[in-house]
Amino acid sequence: MEGAGYRVVFEKGGVYLHTSAKKHQDPDSLIAGVIRVVEKDSDVLLHWVPVEEAGDSTQILFSKKDVSGGDSCTSEEEPTFDPGYEPDWAVISTVRPQSRHLEPTRGAEPSSPRGSWAFSVSLGELKSIRRSKPGLSWAYLVLVTQAGGSLPALHFHRGGTRALLRVLSRYLLLASSPQDPRLYLVFPHDSSALSSSFHHLQLFDQDSSNVVSRFLQDPYSTTFSSFSRVTNFFRGALQPHLEGASPDLLPPPDDEPEPGFEVISCVELGPRPAVERAPPLTEEEWAHHVGPEGRLQQVPVLKARIFSGGLSPGLRREAWKFLLGYLSWEGSAEEHKAHVRKKTDEYFRMKLQWKSVSPEQERRNSLLHGYRSLIERDVSRTDRTNKFYEGPENPGLGLLNDILLTYCMYHFDLGYVQGMSDLLSPILYVIQNEVDAFWCFCGFMELVHGNFEESQETMKRQLGQLLLLLRVLDPQLCDFLDSQDSGSLCFCFRWLLIWFKREFPFPDVLRLWEVLWTGLPGPNLHLLVACAILDMERDTLMLSGFGSNEILKHINELTMKLSVEDVLTRAEALYRQLTACPELPHNVQEVLGLVPPTEPQSPSPPTSPLPLSPTGAPPAPPPTEDTAPQPDSSLEILPEEEEEESAES
C-alpha cells in the first residue's frame, strides 16, 4: 500500500490492546486494531490504530510521557493498567494522540475513546522488545522506547508476532538479552557513538571511575555489551552484511509456537600451544647483521629476533630508529648520515616557527596558546618519578615541551592531544637526542595518530576488534562481563590509547613497545596483549562475584603489577591458537592479518587496523658537499646512572 510520501511494508489485523488488568477480559476492554510498518520520507514508523481508524494511520505521532507531570493534550489522569503478566512488566500507557496539531484521521471522531489508544513510533525510538512465553494464550509483544516508557502490549489474536519481528529485523538489529531470552535489545545496523572528546571524557584524571560511568551512559557501550547474544554474532554490527543478505531471524521449529529464536555461533579452538621467549638481542648479535657500507642484512630474521626477545638496553638507542621508521632498514651508513642532516634542518625550521612567535602574537593565536598551555600542564606530570625527568629544572622536561610544540607545527591538523606526552617520554629517555627523538616520535604517531583523532573512529574500531577476538577466545568471560554491564570493554580504552604505557613498569614498557613495533607475528598484536591480560585475570574476575565497579577497580589495581614477559608469552600463544583454527571466521582473520582487509564501501574509516610496523623511511639522497652543521641546541643528555640496565638485569 502506498500513499503520498509513505509506503506500507507490513500490515496485520487482529492485533488487540487489553485495557483491563483482569485475567479474563470483557469485550469492552478489548480494542481491536491493525499494526503497520510504514516507510515515510526517510523514516520507518510502527503504527497501531483501532479498527475504525485503520483507514489512515500515517498522521498519528508518538507522544512521549510528560516527565514534568503536565499534560498538554488532556487533563484526565493517564490510565494505568496491568494486563495480568509478570509484575515487573506491568504496562503504563505513555502514548496519546496530538490532536491539537494533527487533522483527525478518517473514519473516527476526534474524541473517540478508542482512538486515544492509537500510537505511532519511529523504529529509531525503540530500545527493546519483549515477547510472551510460549503457550500463554495469545502471543503478545511489549515495546519499550529509548525514553524508558512502554507502549501498550500488542496481543496478536490471529498470530503474526514472528512475521512482524522479521520485518523489523530488516531495519534493526535484534539481540537477545543474556539475562532474559524473551527480551530483545534493539540497535541500528550501523551503531556508532562514543563521540566525546578526551577532554570531556577526562581519561587521564585520577578518578578513572568517572571514565567508565561516562562510557556506560553512551549507546556505544550498550551496543557492544549486548553483542554477546546477537544472532550469529559474527554477522551484524561486527561484520557488514553481504550484499543482498537478509539479517532476518531464523525460524523456530514448527512444533514450538513462537519461541525465542536465539542462535549463537561458536568457534572450536584447539589446545593453546606452549610458547617460550628468547633472551634480548645483544649488540654483538646486531653487529653480525651489519654488512658492507653499514647496511643491515637479513632484516626479517633480525625483526623476528627482536620480536622473540626484545633488545638489550644498550642497543635500543640505535635499533629504535629503524623500528620507528626514522632510518631505513636498507640504507647505508652514509645515506643515514645524510638523512639525519636533512631531518635536523627540517626539525629546526619547524621549531623556529613557534619559537619566533612573540607573546603579543600568541595572545591573538588561541590555538597555539591552547597547545602550549596543555603541553606545559601534561609535561609537568609526565614520568616525574623517573630520574631522567625528576626535579623542577630538569632539562628533559624542556625537551619534552619543545618536541611536542614542534609536532604541532609538523602535524597542524592533529596538533597536541592529551596522552601524547606519555608516548614521547620513553622515546626521549632512550634516544637522548632532541632531533632524533622527534622523528622517532613522528614514526610512532604514524602508527597511532588515529587514536587521538576527534572522531575516535579508530578507537571504536579497535574496541570492536578486541571484543570480537575475546568473544572467540573466551565466550564465557564475555558473557560474564556482559552480565555485569562491562561487556563494552571500556576499561581497556586507556590500554589501547597509549599502548599500555601506564599499566607496566617503565622498563617493561620499553620491552613491550619494541616488540610491538616489529609488526610480528601480524598486525594488532596489541589487541592480543589486552586479551592476554584479561585471560590472566579471568578466574579472579569470574569467581569473585565482581560487579561493574569491582571489575573496574580490579583492572585499575593491575597497574605496575603485570609481568611483560608473561603477557607477551600468553599473547603469542593466543595468536598461535587462533591461527591454528581451520574454521576461523573471516573477520577474525582480517583482524589478525591473515587475509587482506575488506575494502570499505563508503568514506567511513577502513575496517582494517592501522599497521603496527611503519614502512621503511625513503632512501636518503646522496650526501652533498655543503650541508648545514647540526645546531648546538640539539642536546645530548645522558642519565647520571644506568638505571635501566640494572632494572633489566
pLDDT per residue as tens digits for the range 445-469: 999 999 999 999 999 999 999 999 9
From CA 224, how far away is CA 490, in angstroms rounded? 10
| pLDDT at residue 113, rounded to an integer | 63
Cis status of the peptide bond prior to 251, with omega within 30 of 0: no
Residue 521 falls in which region: left (phi positive, over 0), alpha (psi -120 to 50) or beta? alpha
Please give the span between the terminal C-alpha atoms of the chain, in angstroms, as a whole number.
78
Phi and psi at 553, nearest 5°, equal: -60, -45
Lookup result for grid cell 583523532: 453
Spatial separation of the C-alpha atoms in residues 237 and 189, rounded to whole Å: 6
Checking if the pLDDT of 144 tops 50, the result is yes
C-alpha cell at position 483: 552480565
Burial class from Cβ neighbours inside 10 Å (0-12, 13-18, 19+) for residue 415 reads buried
Domains of the chain are 6-19+29-54+118-187 (2.30.29.230), 193-216+267-307+455-595 (1.10.472.80), 313-448 (1.10.8.270)
Q: Cell numbers at residue 140, please? A: 503478545
- At 485-496, the pLDDT tens digits run 898 999 999 999
Burial status of residue 221 (CB atoms within 10 A of its CB: 0-12, 13-18, 19 or more): buried
At residue 356, the pLDDT reads 96
Tens-place pLDDT, residues 295-351: 999 999 999 999 999 999 999 999 999 999 999 999 999 999 999 999 999 999 999
Beta pairing partners, 296: 290
Average pLDDT of the segment spanning 158-170 = 87
pLDDT in tens, 517-549: 999 999 999 999 999 999 999 999 999 888 889
Residue 184 has pLDDT above 80, yes or no: yes
- CA–CA separation, 548 and 554 (whole Å): 10
| Residue indicated by cell numbers 637522548 | 432
DSSP state of 228: G
Read off the pLDDT of residues 24-35 as tens digits, 9 standing for 90 and up. 556 667 888 999
Q: Extract the C-alpha cell encoding 392.
A: 623542577
Q: What is the pLDDT of residue 392?
A: 81
Q: What is the mean pLDDT of the chain?
A: 76
Reported residue count of the chain is 649
Give the integer Cα–Cα distance in Å for 405 and 416.
8
Q: Indicate whether this model's pTM tops 0.85.
A: no
| pLDDT tens digits, one per residue of 361-397 | 999 999 999 999 999 999 999 999 999 999 888 999 9
